Amino acid sequence: MEEWQKETVYQIYPRSFQDSNGDGIGDINGIISRLDYLKELGIGLIWLTPMYRSPGNDNGYDIADYYQIDPVFGSMEDFERLLNEAHKRGIKIIMDMVLNHTSNENRWFQEALKSKDNPYHDFYIWRDPVEGHEPNNWVSKFSGSAWKYVPELNQYYLHLYDVTMPDLNWRNETLRAEIFKMLKTWANKGIDGFRLDVINNISKDKDLPNDTFKTPLDDGRNFYTNGPHVHEYIHEMYEEVFGPNNFVTVGELSSTPVSEAVKYTNPERQELSMAFTFHHVKVDYTGGNKWTLGNYKLTDLTRILSDWQVKMNRHGGWNALFWNNHDQPRAISRFTDDSKYRDQSAKLLAMVEFGLQGTPYIYQGDEIAMKNAYFTDISQYKDHESINAYNELVDNGLDKETAIKILQQKSRENSRLPMQWNSSKYYGFTTGQPWLKPLHHDDYSVEKVLKMKNNVFNFYRALIFLRKNKTLLTDGAYKLLDSQDNSVYSYERFDDKGKILVMANFTGKSQKRDVAEGFDLLLGNYEGIEMNDGTVTLRPYESVMLENK
């Protein structure tokens, strides 16, 4: 068992975490000022979303210079101090790295634009027009065609994401050598690992065939997701960088089945430590379409979580466990109740996550039950994906009110609100004007929550402690108890020495369920437990962790 498998990771979205200089944007010195807070929570690793030099068209995931810290976040000296201060507290730092694409302002792409003969031209994926139009019918994740025409070259370049983010050509050995050189530079600074953005998209089918559009998923991804050489490329990175530096690595693996995720994370294959997969946070996509007013069934959610638990364990893979991140709306607003039963809901989601096998991730604000932004007008959004989706919905005839409701439910901007530290203006995030203004006048903050009895923060602390001290939670097998239960998610973790039972009521009504003899309360999100004669009564959004030794 590796150390990181028992630790808890805290994801920081630097732009929204803590501003130290009053410019309204979170920064490195702000993070340093909150390290003691994270140490108190019990965090072992911090994942930092990108802070490299970038024009910010995708909030840093469009990298213009892999070697430089963007001045908006501070200096390289600030970053080195952050590393040092985190390590003093026994906290490791994982950097976010984007290797599928760069910004179009990156020096490599600026050179690529000069001519077809420029050595950097082949660092990207270019194709000539086909009968006067795009080389194929692939759709960008940010809507519209995945190809951009450059008249001066009479060629198109591929951009699976924003038009300002051209995809890199991993078939080019010189490009790969440049990437490995850059990764080693960060390793030499003393970082502890990488989170690899959309890493399963780096290998495309060389023929770039058209897709069928039979479903929303047949939009090109069949020919670039988990492509022909992706495992070969990642193993090469392991041999060059990850292995020699004993790195903790996590790959973002959207649209990846369990059979592939196991390959990425089985230690014998020497690729990645663990995998982010997203099937469980797509259960409210109507017909696979994200931009809809969707509902979910608990049985669908528990089936997906259970499938990944059983199959990853069986084949030696390892899950990265999460409900929230910078690309997802808040789970408390999505799957539970963020008003009347807010505290219970936050604790329920935490317990369900920490009871599963894998490495748990806390996204900033989870530990104080932060909820969705509920913006009411498109002018309040900064996120290109959300704005593009809104415009497309309206252009296709949907009324603006419904389009906004869809964004209130699905936009990733919901998770990007500034961290709520205290009750002062803008929650103590900044003394200036925040880059993204909070609107829902929420009264929750770190300051308030820490004063509350049996608060969410301390509940997370208890779960982090349990994971470090109960080997059953890291090593034990998993079993879903009732796949047809659409109200209560009940599962066991077990080995030959004992069992831990997790039961979570995902409804606003009390639910009675049978419990075998010999189980005692280990942790719950209410005071006490209503259990007698082999029956437990779960109050609205109540979750319990029971142990049978």
Closest CA to 49 of 33, 63, 29: 63
Q: What CA–CA distance (Å, rounded) separates 8 from 41?
A: 10
**Is-contact 167 124, C-beta < 8 A?**
yes
**Is-contact 197 97, C-beta < 8 A?**
yes
Q: What CA–CA distance (Å, rounded) separates 182 from 418?
A: 31
Q: DSSP 3-state assignment of 493?
A: strand
**Would you list the DSSP string of 256-303?**
--HHHHHHHH-GGG-S-SEEE--GGGGTTSBTTBSSS-----HHHHHH
**Is-contact 227 221, C-beta < 8 A?**
no
The beta strands (E) that lie in 135-221 are given as 147-150, 155-158, 193-197
Other beta carbons within 10 angstroms of residue 273's beta carbon come to: 22
Inter-axis angle of helices 400-410 and 384-395, to 10 degrees?
A: 150
Structure tokens at 81: 């101090």
Chain CA centroid to CA 32, Å: 22
Q: Which of 7, 19, 96, 252 is catalytic?
A: 252
Other beta carbons within 10 angstroms of residue 4's beta carbon come to: 22
**Cα four-point dihedral sign 32, 38, 42, 45:** negative
Q: What CA–CA distance (Å, rounded) separates 341 from 332?
A: 10
Considering just the CA atoms, what is the radius of gyration of the chain in Å?
A: 23
Is 530 designated active site? no
Structure tokens at 365: 């604000």
Q: Which of 27, 96, 197, 327 is catalytic?
A: 197
Q: What is the DSSP letter of 199?
A: G
**Is-contact 360 467, C-beta < 8 A?**
yes
Q: What CA–CA distance (Å, rounded) separates 335 from 507?
A: 10
Is 442 designated active site? no
Residue 176 identity: R
Strand partners, 69: 52
Residue 102 identity: T
Residues serving a catalytic function are 197, 252
